[in-house]
Amino acid sequence: MPLRDTPGLEFVLSSLEEGGRGKPRFTVVLGSGLATACPDLGEVMEIPFNDIPGWLVGDVPGHSCTLRFGTWMGVEVAVQLGRLHFYEGMDMETVVLPISLMADLGVEGIFMSNAAGALNPIYAKGQLMLVRDHINLMGDNPLRGTRDGGGKPVFLDLSSLYDERAGDMVKEAASLSGRPLEEGILVAVSGPTYETGAELRFMRLIGGDAVSMSLVPEALVAHHRGLAVTAVSVITNVWDMRRPQPLSHLEVLDVAEAAAPALKEVVAAWLKGIA
């Protein structure tokens, strides 16, 4: 895959070379409060977002905004600790910069995670949901304005966005470990406000199983750039459709941090299955 003009690309390439590292083959994105789900890497090197020319840094608690490079069973892996968000006032191009960078580096597969609220009443706090599909209600698309080689708008097929084979593999591994994954459809909203009762009922009515303010823009860009995408949401709160309860970001982080060990096992199973 040819290198593109993603801001910070040359800086990261130089940093990897100076550190004696090769380019990563796989990457993992860890969302709100999920940093401890990072796989156990050897020969670790870290680059904070604010060291990378042209990059912005978010200030949302639970997101350190750091790229961690290391080896896992001899394979070069990159882990994105935290992410940037559309609701922070950034444009979509900025939000997906880390994904564009990974594509430029030649990454083959990506595992994404985030915190999400349950719409499906069978879900419980701390549960993990394999994302099989999504509904984008963010009001924007990171591929807007993107052109193909002939200068025409990109009409990207999304029928196979989330890698079915990898999804089946991690689902089986989770089941064997005694921590079964649910599977469902993720609804993406722009935030930063949590949803009203009417909005929750609407999202459930149209087929949503969980709702979040992230992941979908990155998944779209990763798929467009040829990366195999696997995604898992950590259910951090369960909505009562009749009477939604007050919720804070700190509560979300607490549940996410408690679920991180289970997610770490899923990430390890994913790496083992594709490496």
Which of these is catalytic: 88, 172, 183, 251?
A: 88
d(CA 154, CA 144): 8
Which of these is catalytic: 166, 173, 210, 213?
A: 213
Which of these is catalytic: 188, 237, 259, 268?
A: 237
Q: Is 224 a catalytic residue?
A: no
Answer for the pair 41, 73: CB distance below 8 angstroms, yes or no.
no
Q: Is 249 a catalytic residue?
A: yes
Q: Is 203 a catalytic residue?
A: no
Which of these is catalytic: 85, 134, 223, 224?
A: 85
Q: Which of 213, 214, 209 is nearest to 195 (CA)?
A: 213
d(CA 133, CA 154): 20
Within its chain, how far is the Cα of 162 from the centroid?
12
Q: Is 32 a catalytic residue?
A: yes
Provide the residue type at 72 as one letter: W
Which of these is catalytic: 15, 32, 114, 233?
A: 32
Which of these is catalytic: 87, 120, 172, 275?
A: 87
Q: Is 136 a catalytic residue?
A: no
Q: Is 87 a catalytic residue?
A: yes
Structure tokens that stand for 117 in this block:
């609220």
d(CA 165, CA 167): 5
What are the CA-CA distances from residue 105 to residues 20, 67, 81 (Å)?
15, 13, 18
Which of these is catalytic: 114, 212, 214, 233?
A: 214
Q: Is 162 a catalytic residue?
A: no
Which of these is catalytic: 103, 115, 219, 262?
A: 115
Using CB atoms within 10 Å of the CB of residue 246, give its burial: 0 to 12 exposed, 13 to 18 middle, 19+ buried.
exposed
Which of these is catalytic: 63, 134, 223, 224?
A: 63
Q: Is 63 a catalytic residue?
A: yes
Answer for the pair 120, 185: CB distance below 8 angstroms, yes or no.
no
Return the DSSP state at 149.
T
The set of catalytic residues is: 32, 63, 85, 87-88, 115, 213-214, 237, 249
